[in-house]
Structures are given as structure tokens and as C-alpha cells.
Chain A
Amino acid sequence: MIGFAGLSHLGVVSAIATAAKGFEVLAYDGDASLCESLNRGQISFFEPELEKLLKVNQSRIRFVADAAALTQCDVIYFSRDVATDDQGRSNLSPLTDLIERVVPSAAMGATLVILSQVPPGFTRRLAKKVGQSFADRQLQVCYQVETLIFGRAVERALYPERFIIGAADGRRALPRAFTELLAAFTCPILTMRYESAELAKISINMCLVSSVSVANTMAELCERIGADWSEIVPALKLDKRIGPHAYLSPGLGIAGGNLERDLATVVALANEFGADDGVVDSWISNSRYRRDWVLQQMHQQVLSRIQNPLIAIWGLAYKQDTDSTRNSPALFLIEALKPFRIQAYDPSVKLDRVSAANLRQTESALDACAGADVLAIMTPWKEFSDISLDDIKVSMKGRSIIDPYGTLNGDACIEAEFSYFKLGSGDCE
């Protein structure tokens, strides 16, 4: 029996994926109503394919609000997402409270696995504490790197590229029940000491941020000198040192919370231990700069020319296929456009009136365009690319489209006499 404690996005996805691999799963959260909903097959957040996966595997998974039930488990994952503040700093208190609540219920010889996003040093401190407080139980403490991606979490949980496991001594074999569980996913298992595993997760994210920062920097140069970044990317991806899956899409800054957390952790560690983090500061600065790209385009191309404009926004989530708005560029844009009227549509996100008084949310993308002087496509939802340009043209009053991710066909937009602005693409004439 595999246990999960903490049922936020990470816990729910991981628990269901484990059940899908044929294991009996007991998933605990102190919120009884949440457990009831999950037992009815209802998930409180949007993640493609997850509800379907839960339905298929419901017989192997039980959601409970009583921590004592976890005593049946050979392995207990601590899977609560760690929240961050607007500086990317983690609030570990809810996780440590959860651990204190659950560990007393762990059975003799059980393996406790930290799946939550913790800073380097956390797991060894925990292992020491558990060893001291429950010496007679022979509990094993491990750390497992989570690499879920909002919108692609099911795929990532079912078919991980590899497992990165932190242990007290990376050279020793992992507990049997834990090894059997990991083996069911048929991917490489890399075992290392706690600190290395904790830093491995951060290192992965730093590589991603680095790639995105390169893409953003070069894409801006493309915009300025009349090149097109989308023409350059295929050349980079054929370079073995860069690779076909490299993160080379320019964006509107880092969002979602996880990368920001790791950036903040690296800065804090570098500060504490005296390491050079100048490049990390630059990534953070570049991210904030690019977040305002649409605002800059909006002012330069539209607001400087039109009195009392009506602005249409498609997409509020920080990326497609999620309802998360954490550090979403769309929300920053709406805040910066407070004096102006905005009509917005997102397939998954509904904002309350208080958070954006200047905003009217519409029931469809085309409704948002009605009478608008400019359209900004802030989230590249697939459904937006299917909308007819003719319908957009009929609906809008103005002829400006700011489409950072190239969701629409840029050439078709220009042919339809729209002024069209995309990240990484400059006018070469």
C-alpha cells in the first residue's frame, strides 16, 4: 500500500498516477470535504486527462481525512505543494505541520518520501529529527524530485524521464517497497545524497530558465533588427549540444511559481554561502522585463494613438491547459491597464470582480473582441488558434493584434490588414 499525505495538485496527480500503475493507494488530507469530492471523482483544479484517469483507477485509490489510516502503508509520500510568496520564498510551515501530524502514524520500517518542493538541507534535517523521535520504528527518509508540469502533469507522472532520489547515503540500496514502486514506472533511477537530489531539481529548473532567458534575449534582438526567432530555433534544435526539446520559446517572463521559487532559493543560498549569483539576478531581471512586453507594445502601438480604447484579452491563465494564474502576465497587464476598459476571456479561469474592476469577463473569445480596438492573446490556448480571422475582424473595431506566442497565423493576420505583433519577430523592411 502506498500512502500520500497532502492533496494539492502534486499529491492528487501523483496519487492517481501511482494507482494507475496498479498499486493500492491511500491518499490523506486533513480537509474532509476535499477527500469526499475526490472519492466522488471530482477534482478541484483543471488538469487535462486527470479526471478520466481517476475514474479508471478509482477502485485502487481511497481518499481519507484520518492520518491514522496511513499506518497501513509501506511507503508514505509527503506530497503537499509548498506555497510561495510574491518573492518566490517558500512557506514550509504547512508541510512541516503535515509531517508532524502523519509521521506518528507511520508503520515500523515504513519509507517516508518527501515529494514536496523543499530547499537543500530540508530532508537531512527531517531525517535526523525522525531518527531521534522515532528511533524504535526504523523509518527510512528519502527525497524524490518532482518534475510535474501544469497542463502536462498526467503525462509527466505516468511516464517520467527518470527518478532522482535523495537518500542519507546515495551509495546504499533503497528500501525494497520503495524500489518496487519506482521500478513500475520503468525509467532510470538515479540515487544520490539528499543535498544532491534537492539541488538536482533546482539545477534542472536553472537550465530551463537559462534557455528561456537566451530565447528571450535573442528574440528581442530579432524584433529590433528584423530577424525572426522562429526561423532560428530549428537550427538550434538540430545542434546536439542544445537538442530537440530545449526550451527555446520566448515568453512573457517566468510564471507559475515553481521556477520563481528555485530562483529565489539559489539567490538565498548564494547569498548565505558567498557564491556568485550574478547570472541568476540577470535571469530574474530579464523575466520581469519581458513580462511587460505586451504592455510596451500596447502603449507604443495602440494607447499612444487611441483615446479611451477598448481592449480585448484572450487568456488569463499563466499558460495553456491550466487554470493557474500564479504570476500570470495577463493579470499584471490588466493591473497596468487599470484606467482602460477590458473585455477578457479564458476557457478555464474566472476572476472575481474585486481583483479586476476594469475587467468584464465574457463567455466566448469572440464576445471579448466585440468593439475592441486591440486584441492581446496572453495565453496560447489551442482553441484560440481555431477561431476564424474573419469573425475576429467583424467583431473588432480596431485592427491591432498583439499575439506574443504566435497563436494565430501571423501572415494571415497581416493579409487581413491587421497590425500584428509577435515575440521574436521584427519588421525586416
Chain B
Amino acid sequence: MRLQSRGIEVLPLSSREIDLAKPEATEKLKNLVRDRDSLVIVSALTPDKGKDVATLVRNLSMVQNVAAFLEETQCAHVVYISSDAVYADDANPVRETSCCDPSSFHGLMHLVRERVLAAAVQKQGTPLMILRPTAIYGAADTHNSYGPNRFLRTALKNREIKLFGMGEEKRDHLCIKDLSEITLLSLERRSQGVLNVATGESVSFFDLAEMIKALCGNETRIEGSPRANPVTHRHFEISALYKGFPEFRFTMLADGLTESFAIMKRSLVG
């Protein structure tokens, strides 16, 4: 929508149009994507769809077919939406030069995809931008993973927020609008390279829960639970983003939560 609002022609392709995991995806892409078009690759089977080897292999099949397409097509620009899961769990503060040592198949998948795409675009000399966003929140997010979205939903629905331990872990939370804007800016400038997309401000899940409680009402209960894993934190050092996009401003977490809260509440009432 942001691209369209700026008069840029957009062709959204979902798995209904092309199943990237199937070999015929390469030919289908050739028919749909023209020379000098820019391509944003955001398709993946996310961990909520499976964390096993089969999901990993399926995700890699998708990139294999996209890579075959890119090797033979003169795209103007490729943007790949990767993930901060490519980094080692103990990489703090995370920056673009941090060690990539994923602890999950999801992170490994993104890292392998990055390398495959980097190799594929070489043949045509297509500029490639790899964006590595941290955990994203936003009202329309379907993953319902631990964090703002789940907290908002359970607070609105059940008046409760359940934490692992007492929510001591600190994380950076990225508003989906901000990732869209950075993607758009990358397209406009045909940016190349690797860039983490995170706000640079990490908060604990407990503080996040408190912020959501303040939005949803004081009757919301914040409940801890026995801790299964040791506490780990994740902070980002975002100087590269400041340098790449100096005029970009992140949505403040409080503002992003307020907006998500309003939309979720409307949809609940509606």
C-alpha cells in the first residue's frame, strides 16, 4: 500500500499465485516479473508452521527456485527480508558484523537463503539488499508469538498476560510499519548490503506487559510462570541504519502499541 500510494506499480504474489516450493515456480516468476522490475522476497514458512527439518528443506526449495529465476532475469533490485535469528543467541549488542551462528532451523534457513540469493544475483549483477528485522509486532500479525501481539490479544480477550519467568528478558520490538518503510526506502535508493532493522531500544517483557496493561486497563493480570530456560537478552547497535537512512524515524514502542491496541480492540468489538 505504501508503494502504491507513491504511484509505484505493485504486484503482490502469495502462495495462491505461486507456490515457490514447486519447481514450476521459476517459470511462473519469469512470466510474471519483467526485466528491470524490483523483487521483494518475503515468503517463508515461519516457525509457527513448523520448526522441523522438513520445514527447513521446504523453505530452501523455495529459495532454490527463486535463485534459478534470478540467475536468468535482469531484475533492477532484490530485497530479501531475512531475520535477526541468523545471529548467535549471545551476540550482544547485535550489529551487522556480529557472528552469524543461528541456533534454530528458522535462523539457519534465513542464513542459507541469504547466501544462495547473494550467489544468484551475481550472474546478472543485480543489487541485493538483505534486511534482518528483529521481532515484529502489528495488529494484523498472524503468528501470535510471545511478545506484543500475544500480550495485547490475551489482555483484551482474557484480561491476562502470561510471562515466562517474570519476563526479565529484554528484546527489541519492531513495528511492522517501520519495516515497510525501510523496505520502501531501500527500494527507492536501490540499497545494497545487509542491514539490521531494529529500534536500538530493548525493553523487558515485564515492562512491555506493564505498558500493555496500562492500555488495556488495570484489571489485566500479569502472571509469571516457572522459568524453563535461562534469561537471555538481545540489544541492537543500529549505527548502520542511522548512516544508511539518516532521516528515518522509528515508531516509539508506546505509540505502536497504542495503535495496535486500537485496531485489535475495534476488530474484537466489530
Contact = CB atoms under 8 A, between A and B. Distances in A.
Interface in A287-302: 289, 292, 295-296, 299-300
A296 B242 CA distance: 8
B239 A303 contact: no
A304 B247 CA distance: 9
B200 interface: yes
Interface string B85-124: 0000000000101000000000000000000000000000
A340 B250 contact: no
Nearest to A220: B93
B249 interface: yes
Interface in A326-371: 335-340
A285 interface: yes
A299 B242 contact: yes
A336 B242 contact: yes
Contact of A304 (B97, B237, B249): B249
Q: Which of A285, A336, A339 counts the most chain B CB atoms within 10 A?
A: A336
B200 to A, nearest CB: 7
A339 B247 CA distance: 7
A296 B238 CA distance: 8
B87 to A, nearest CB: 15
B246 interface: yes
A299 B200 CA distance: 11
B97 A285 contact: yes
B243 interface: yes
Contacts of A295: 239, 242-243
A337 B246 CA distance: 7
Interface string B171-200: 000000000000000000000000000001
Contacts, number: 31
A77 B247 CA distance: 52
A336 B242 CA distance: 7
Q: Which of B97, B239, B249 counts the most chain A CB atoms within 10 A?
A: B239
Interface residues of B, number: 12
Contacts of B249: 303-304
B246 A296 contact: no
Interface in A247-306: 285, 289, 292, 295-296, 299-300, 303-304
B246 A338 contact: yes
A300 B200 CA distance: 9
B236 to A, nearest CB: 11
Contact of A340 (B97, B239, B246): B246
Given A285-B97, A296-B200, A303 B246 contact: yes
B246 to A, nearest CB: 5
B243 A336 contact: yes
A296 B250 contact: no
Contacts of B237: 289, 292, 296
A336 B200 contact: no
Interface of B is mostly: loop
Number of chain A interface residues as a range: 10 to 19
A354 B95 CA distance: 31
A299 B239 CA distance: 9
Interface in A149-163: none
Nearest to B252: A304
Contact of A336 (B95, B97, B246): B246
Contacts of B97: 285
A329 B225 CA distance: 47
Interface string A304-316: 1000000000000
Q: Which of A289, A299, A304, A335 counts the most chain B CB atoms within 10 A?
A: A299
Contact of B246 (A285, A289, A300, A339): A339
A352 to B, nearest CB: 22
Nearest to A296: B239
Contacts of A303: 246, 249
Contacts of A289: 95, 237, 239
Contacts of A299: 242
A304 B246 CA distance: 10
A289 B95 CA distance: 10
A26 to B, nearest CB: 49
A404 to B, nearest CB: 15
Contacts of A336: 239, 242-243, 246
A337 B249 CA distance: 14
Interface string B245-258: 01101100000000
A339 B200 CA distance: 21
Nearest to B249: A304
A289 to B, nearest CB: 6
Nearest to A292: B239
Nearest to B237: A289
A240 B238 CA distance: 39
A223 to B, nearest CB: 13
Contacts of B200: 296, 300
A339 B249 CA distance: 14
A304 B250 contact: yes
Contacts of B246: 303, 336-340
A329 to B, nearest CB: 12
Nearest to A289: B237
A245 B239 CA distance: 32
Contacts of B238: 296
Contacts of B250: 304
Contacts of B243: 295, 335-336
| A-B pairs, 9 with minimum CB distance | A292-B239, A336-B243, A299-B242, A339-B246, A304-B249, A339-B247, A295-B242, A295-B239, A296-B239
14 contacts: A292-B237, A295-B239, A295-B242, A295-B243, A296-B200, A296-B237, A296-B238, A299-B242, A303-B246, A336-B243, A336-B246, A337-B246, A339-B246, A339-B247
Given A292-B239, A335-B243, A336-B239, 17 more contacts: A285-B97, A289-B237, A289-B239, A292-B237, A292-B242, A295-B239, A295-B242, A296-B237, A296-B238, A296-B239, A300-B200, A303-B246, A303-B249, A304-B249, A336-B243, A338-B246, A339-B247
